Amino acid sequence: MPERTKGGGPERAARVMLTAAVAAMGYLDYFQYKRMGVGEPGAWDALAAGRWSAPDQYRVSVVLAARWLAGHLHGRVPLAMALIDLVSALVAVHVLWSVFTRTAVYREASLELRWLGAAGFVLLPPWYFGWIFWLSKPETLPAAMLLAAMLWVWQPAVGGARFRSVWVRVLALLGLTLVLASMRADEACFVNLGMALAAWRFGGGLSLPRRFAIATGVAGGLLAAGVQIWLVKVAFPQAHYGLIKFWQLWPNLHHASRWPPLVTFCLLVGWMAVQAVRRRFSQDVAGMGAFYAAVMFFVLWAVIGKFDEVRVFLPFVLMLAPLTAEMLILRVKDA
């Protein structure tokens, strides 16, 4: 493994550029919320009271947090929501950068390839954040932050386990699952199932032993499904989809106007998927677990979501940024 060149690595420069990209997004995000009128009196009262339509009613936790924070900001709801997005995005990109720099592909690369991988990684968040303002929702970036945190916990630490106790890791993953399920139960379910599938296929390479990883992934998926059932059947039984069509597969395939946003948004992650499948990549098991989760979620999105609402997929493609940068390093290394 090549030695790091003191002071010559891309770590500090990459973190500065990632922070700058998030800061720019946060500034624009605030004015986006103002334009949407989220600060108008009573704008979120129906949702907070449980009188809104599905599926937004099932993702009320971020709105409740924003209303609480706005109470300490003299009622400035747009500022509260923009601050939540800003903190979420900052945590997400820096946690994912930490995940990337701890992968075997990055650690074993030459200094030049590390710089290349860092450049590719830094490109990805601005590429995806630009779509935050396209049919935006307040739960998108908090969900991305929680997915990044779960990937970080699933990834084995360099030189030993992040937490001494296996049970601490299990509880951390289930706790993050519970919080994520309060805003996106589908994402919480699939990320756990994706990691369980990766543990079953590769047999190791995660922060938990194989049996613990499979059991935790399945338990997390069931926990998220249980939260969704509770939200639908117990907490908000009156919420319904109204005039919104639940099944969207045929409109997705039939309406050509939905395809340009999808193709543009998924261009880089699609390239990554092709590279990972061709290589039968197995060096980053946590990254492959995230990949499996993204594939399962994409299928669900194709069936009941709208392809032009690409921000739905943003938490997963952002979680795949480390794997995308790894594929870039390997592609150039093999050239």
pLDDT at 5: 44
Q: Please report the pLDDT score of residue 328 as a whole number.
A: 97
Identify residue 329 by its one-letter amino acid code.
I
pLDDT band at 38 (very low <50, low <70, confident <90, very high): low
Residue 236 has pLDDT above 60, yes or no: yes
CB 203 within 8 A of CB 189: no
Q: Judge contact between 102 and 285, C-beta under 8 A.
A: no
Task: Tell me what pLDDT residue 147 has.
Answer: 98
Lowest mean pLDDT among 35-39, 88-92, 154-158: 35-39
Question: Can the peptide bond before residue 55 be classed as cis, meaning omega within 30 degrees of 0?
Answer: yes
- Please, which pLDDT band fits residue 42 given cuts at 50, 70 and 90? low
- The pLDDT value given to residue 157: 81
72 burial via Cβ count (<10 Å: 0-12, 13-18, 19+): exposed
Highest mean pLDDT among 35-44, 127-136, 297-306: 297-306
C-alpha 221/C-alpha 196 separation (Å) is 9
Instruction: Identify the band that residue 43 occupies on the pLDDT scale cut at 50, 70 and 90.
Output: low
Q: Using only C-alpha atoms, what is the Rg of the chain?
A: 20
CB 317 within 8 A of CB 265: yes
Q: Is the pLDDT assigned to residue 274 strictly greater than 60?
A: yes
In whole angstroms, give the CA distance from residue 123 to residue 103.
19
CB atoms within 10 A of CB 244: 11
What average pLDDT score do residues 196-212 get? Answer: 94
Mean pLDDT of 32-41: 72
Q: Tell me how many degrees the CA angle 234-239-243 measures, rounded to the nearest 5.
A: 155
The answer to whether 171 and 213 are in contact (CB under 8 A) is no
DSSP tag of 233: I
- Going from the C-alpha of 270 to that of each of 3, 53, 71, 107, 225, the distances in angstroms are 32, 33, 42, 24, 28
- Mean pLDDT (the chain) is 91
pLDDT (tens digit per residue) in 212-235: 999 999 999 999 999 999 999 999
The pLDDT-based confidence of 162 (bands split at 50, 70, 90) is low
% of the chain exceeding 90 in pLDDT: 73
163 has pLDDT over 70? no
Q: What is the mean pLDDT of residues 144-159?
A: 93
Token pair of 281, please? 């990549």
The neighbour count for residue 50, using CB atoms within 10 Å, is: 13
State the amino acid at position 201 in one-letter form: R
User: If you ran DSSP here, which 8-state letter would residue 255 be given?
Assistant: -
- Tokens standing for residue 204: 């190791």
pLDDT at 103: 96
What percent of the chain lies above the pLDDT cut of 70?
93
Q: Model pTM?
A: 0.94
**Highest mean pLDDT (candidates 20-24, 56-60, 246-250):** 20-24
Q: Which residue has the tokens 């334009």?
A: 35
Average pLDDT over residues 295-315: 95
What's the DSSP call for residue 134? S
How many Cβ atoms sit within 10 Å of the Cβ of residue 286?
A: 28
Contact between 116 and 328 (Cβ < 8 Å): yes
Confidence check: pLDDT of 2 > 50: no
DSSP assignment of 182-229 equals HHHHHHHHHHHHHHHHHHHHHS--SSS-HHHHHHHHHHHHHHHHHHHH
Give the separation between CA 322 and CA 97, rounded to whole angstroms.
Answer: 7
Sign of the Cα pseudo-torsion (31, 37, 38, 39, in order): positive
Instruction: Grade residue 3 by pLDDT with cuts at 50, 70 and 90.
Output: very low
Section 241-249 average pLDDT: 83
pLDDT at 33: 84
State the pLDDT at residue 60. 87
